[in-house]
Structure 1
Amino acid sequence: MEDVVLVRIYGNKTELLVDRDEEVKSFRVLQSHGCAPQLYCTFNNGLCYEFMQGEALDPEHVCNPKICRLIARQLAKIHAIHAHNGWIPKSNLWLKMRAYFSLVPSEFPDQLIHDRFVREVPSRQVLEQEMAWMEEVLSGLGSPVVLCHNDLLCKNIIYNEKRDDVRFIDYEYSGYNYQAYDIGNHFNEFAGVNEVDYSLYPERALQLQWLRAYLEAHKEFKGIKPDVSETEVELLYVQVNQFSLASHFFWGFWALIQVKYSKIDFDFLGYAIVRLNQYFKMKPVVMGLTLPE
């Protein structure tokens, strides 16, 4: 296991969901800043890179205060990578979400799946209204656009006990996006994937510790004095929890597309329903938070 390469072959129709050129571009940028493994080669339907030694995490690990801190620091390191040549990056979150929305099927050949879809997934009109509302409200929160991982679920975090560090893998969805989206998306992933349990979503106290560690590290990587005020932590807390709504929609649409194309034995429709339900449940809660003066 000391000398292993990893070969990844792209799944069926994943090109509908993933921009492969963008993935390789992000991979190379992250690698040049010491945030990704060595990329050895790319080919038409996959890539080959260095195997990351360590353990892929589970939901019980990501809430461990010590590991939490390592994750916050590593994400801050990625977010602190500056765009080259003074280029001002823009987020493509809304564009991508609309592209996914346009790929969501309106009917399914399997009658049971179709009936469940009609019964439990909100109408296209409702989804479209919510998307327009989110774009307007969340874009106005002032969250900076940075290089993001965009898919920081537990299994994409590798903890190496010997080195006492964490590294992230799988950059399929990485690219420029809102800082608060990347963190909010990670917090949603505390709930797990196979047995989603939102009671595991981090409580306010844990979030504040996480966000403080993140902000201190972010300033450090930017070469600024790492003094962080209560107001800065509170501002990020509100932005992150409101942006976590967008991640429910993004992965909800993603899962509905997978229902049609994926060959993986997984209840993608059930997962989409869980994500969209959580959006509607959390919307009044997180929109009740107010930005600090």
Structure 2
Amino acid sequence: MNLDTLMYYRQIIENKSISKVANQSHISQSALSQMMQKFEDSLGYELMERSNRGVVPTELGKIVYKYSENIMNTYSKMLEEIDNYAKKSSSVRISATKSLVTYSMPCVLFRIKKVHPDHQYDLVTSELDRIIADVQNDISDFGVITSLPTKWVEGLEIVKIAEEQIVLVASETYSIPNEIMMDELFEYDLIMQSNSEHLYDELYRKISENGMDRELLKVLFKIDSIGAVKNALFNSYGIAMLPYPTVKRELYSKAYKKIQITDLALHYNIYLVHKPLEHLSATSRESIKTFKKLGNKAFC
């Protein structure tokens, strides 16, 4: 299978037009149509249908499109590694969850870079499933995650690298004591992150152990963005549980206040995910070993 053909196929599906892709690629429409016909013939299935909505994939075409992304990403990664080797470059690609990329990983990379000044690092944001897939498919050299996959992943090593404190915070103007008991949480409006269940696992467990019902928590709303949660806090809409690095600056400037839960201490684990070291480049191995050695000290 020709990778250029696969690339053109993806572009046609995304643009819903053969003629548009032909014009953008400076090739004739008939030549591109013949290329797609040969592609379908080689697989033995029809991959596209023409309709009033333009060119749309068949059900089998959707399967080809789904897997083509990994194929193209792997191909790009291969070319990058070849280029890096030729240039004697030392580039390491790391995937991590959004909150880690925004607040924690820059400090980690700063400290690793102090040990390996010649290494180059490319840090990208992804969701858990994509991080696992990218490490499996050699798109990323290693990943950093805040919750474990729901099922065992063959061929990968997942190790705890650090613990991060979770703090209960509110605006300085919000009416709440500096110290409360866990059962008093139920008296205040709680703003939660909808895409960060790991922040609440330990809380839910403690609530259950103490015979309380978590459904009775006064959840004002759930938001899928830390930035949006922080804006809601600034407006004194309620209280929130957030990773300490995400609110460290606001606590220091006294825009927020920390509320101590006297009978509850919360944290979550941070994990490193990578292939066995013998399958990685020397630069990736060195970076991972340094990260593991630094452990919690890597995080500011």
TM over 0.5: no
Structure whose alpha-carbon radius of gyration is higher? 2
Structure 1-normalised TM-score? Answer: 0.22
Structure 2-normalised TM-score? Answer: 0.22
More helix, by proportion: 1
More strand, by proportion: 2
